[in-house]
A and B are shown apart, each in its own frame.
Chain A
Amino acid sequence: DGGITQSPKYLFRKEGQNVTLSCEQNLNHDAMYWYRQDPGQGLRLIYYSQIVNDFQKGDIAEGYSVSREKKESFPLTVTSAQKNPTAFYLCASSSHRSLEYGYTFGSGTRLTVV
């Protein structure tokens, strides 16, 4: 079955530590996205990538970094510069050729600072 997989489901980070969230898709989608969701709030765009080796900042990119070395993978690193990283992180993908069904979302990673 095609889909988008995020790992881990839960992640704990110590103060001052960088952590990387994994996002892999086997849908052959061109574009991938990272969103942050705080409790009781909507989705805020962190970074997005339209094609391999290219990505753009979203609305809240500070303290985050990404890479897109492969079409299937779009990992997100939460750096120590992100002062309030505790949140639910969602990865999504979409095809340039067709927007039917919009974005496909992963099941999310819940990051907690300890």
Chain B
Amino acid sequence: GESVGLHLPTLSVQEGDNSIINCAYSNSASDYFIWYKQESGKGPQFIIDIRSNMDKRQGQRVTVLLNKTVKHLSLQIAATQPGDSAVYFCADRPSGGYNKLIFGAGTRLAVHP
């Protein structure tokens, strides 16, 4: 992803629905991808990661999908809960040399009862 100084887009969902948060990255040589969750006033926390030799990886209620052809990453959250309300960031690591993550702009997820 590329971090830009724009206000965050917001995804609004009903409690219990599935959420899909999308992210585009620019470097076709990136070999590692990660999703973070940031609650208000706190630091980002790791959710799930995936390496470039995989297309899909599942965690507890979360799934990350990687489409290298179109350089797209998505985070799926099953049965979204109010506690999932936060800002979600994707990040990718361009391969080779120093492992510096490139963060996307972030998406705010708002869960409504």
Contact = CB atoms under 8 A, between A and B. Distances in A.
Contacts of A101: 34, 46, 49
Q: Which label, helix, strand, loop or mixed, suits the secondary structure of the B interface?
A: loop
A103 B7 contact: no
Given A42-B106, A105-B44, A96 B8 contact: no
A99 B100 CA distance: 10
A48 B101 CA distance: 11
A105 B7 contact: no
B99 A108 contact: no
28 contacts: A40-B7, A41-B5, A41-B7, A41-B105, A42-B3, A42-B5, A42-B89, A42-B103, A42-B105, A43-B89, A44-B3, A44-B5, A48-B100, A50-B98, A59-B3, A90-B43, A92-B43, A94-B101, A99-B32, A99-B99, A101-B46, A102-B34, A102-B46, A102-B49, A102-B91, A103-B101, A107-B42, A110-B41
Interface of A: 6, 31, 38, 40-45, 48, 50, 59, 88, 90, 92, 94, 96, 99-108, 110
